[in-house]
Amino acid sequence: MLLYIVRHGETDWNKRHKVQGRTDIPLNDYGRRLAEETAEGMHDIPLDLAYTSPLLRAKETAQIILRDRNIPLCEDERLQEISFGSYEGLFCGGEQIDEKSEEFNRFFNDTANYIPPADGETISQLYERTGDFLREMEGRKDLAEKNILVSTHGAAMTSLLNRIRGNLSTEHFWKDEVPPNCSVTLVEIKDGKAEILKEGMIFYKEKVKKWKTV
């Protein structure tokens, strides 16, 4: 089994450094263009099935990449972004920074000491639910010869890849940085074990700026 794991395209909240999490923000025009160029780059890759987070930005990215391929697109809540609860909607970077952004920015800058709000989700909870998705894929013998698109989010994707690397550390969650929008990582599942074959593939010409919180 080959998994093509992709982070969604850009949204207006990405561009404005607003905390998204479970807030259901669609792609902006630039994000759709990144997805369209990714679709062009993946045009010759045969895909048999696709899984997506139910959030609009991930689902639309998957739909654009799939184009007119007549294959199932399955929504899976385990692929949703981490919930930031009451932090969602905060400006956490750029020129306009909210007062509570320092507390939120520990999620990126001091992850071991990040404390989510009461209505948010912990990194351990994120590891558990994305890990449950990965374990299911590793056990799906009926999909052993399939190529599968997986459309998800920055933290959820990082959680999946960290588990494959054997890193379940909270402190070093961002050791390999935030995946760029519409970057694709190829994972092979063979004999019930996942392995990263190629990471951070970019199929578009633009140079997307890395996420920074300052």
User: Would you call 8 a catalytic residue per the annotation?
Assistant: yes
As a whole number of angstroms, the distance between CA 155 and CA 173 comes to: 9
Of 62, 101, 97, 59, the closest CA to residue 84 belongs to 101
Single-letter amino acid, residue 73: L
Q: Considering 8, 10, 37, 60, which one is annotated as catalytic?
A: 8
Q: How many CA atoms lie within 13 A of 86 on its CB side?
A: 7
Beta 184-190 vs 147-152: how paired, if at all? unpaired
The contacts of residue 208 (CB under 8 Å, 6+ apart) are 10, 34, 180, 181, 182
Q: Considering 10, 37, 81, 88, which one is annotated as catalytic?
A: 81
User: Would you call 88 a catalytic residue per the annotation?
Assistant: no
Bridge partners of 187, per DSSP, are: 3, 196
Give backbone dihedrals phi and psi of 148, rounded to 5 degrees, phi first: -130, 130
Give the residue numbers annotated as catalytic, written as ranges. 8, 81
